[in-house]
Amino acid sequence: MFANRFEQGIYILDEPEAALSPQRQLSFLKIIHDLATPLHAQFLIATHSPILMAYPGALIFDLDGDEIQPTSYQETKHYQVTRDFLNSPERFFRHLFRKLDEPESDA
């Protein structure tokens, strides 16, 4: 749909990654780039995807607090959680799968 329907204009998208695999998200970034680079289109995207947020030059705003705040890619919780999980999934699994009567440990 993205490749065949997007042309010139302003597009407001709410979590377009919901039905896209990581590879398709990368393909979507290419479509965005092909339309935005010659200034034919602008995109306002609400997303939880660290892949989409990584678009070069994207302006990222954090809507989680009381105020809308500009933020950097590396400061987003989505980036940080994904990075930490990929670096150490076993640490997350220990926490997630521990028995309720077991104390938490950082080891």
Question: Model confidence over 32-78: pLDDT tens digits?
Answer: 999 888 888 899 999 999 999 999 999 999 998 899 999 999 999 99
Residue ranges making up the domain that contains 31 = 2-58
Residue 44 resides in a domain: yes
Residue at 86 is within a domain: no
104 found inside a domain: no
List beta partners, residue 44: 12
CA distances, 5 to each of 2, 41, 85 (Å):
6, 12, 35
> Per the domain annotation, does 6 fall within a domain?
yes
pLDDT at 43: 94
Q: With contact defined as beta carbons under 8 Å apart, do 4 and 38 qualify?
A: no
Residue with token string 């680079």: 37
Residue 105's pLDDT is: 65
The structure tokens 């950097």 sit at: 72
Determine, yes or no, domain membership for 91.
Answer: no
Confirm whether 96 is domain-assigned. no
For the chain, what is the domain count? Answer: 1
- Asked, for residue 94, whether it belongs to a domain, the answer is no
> Does residue 80 lie within any of the structural domains?
no
Comparing 102 with 13, the larger pLDDT belongs to 13
Task: Tell me the pTM.
Answer: 0.80
Residue 4 has pLDDT above 90, yes or no: no
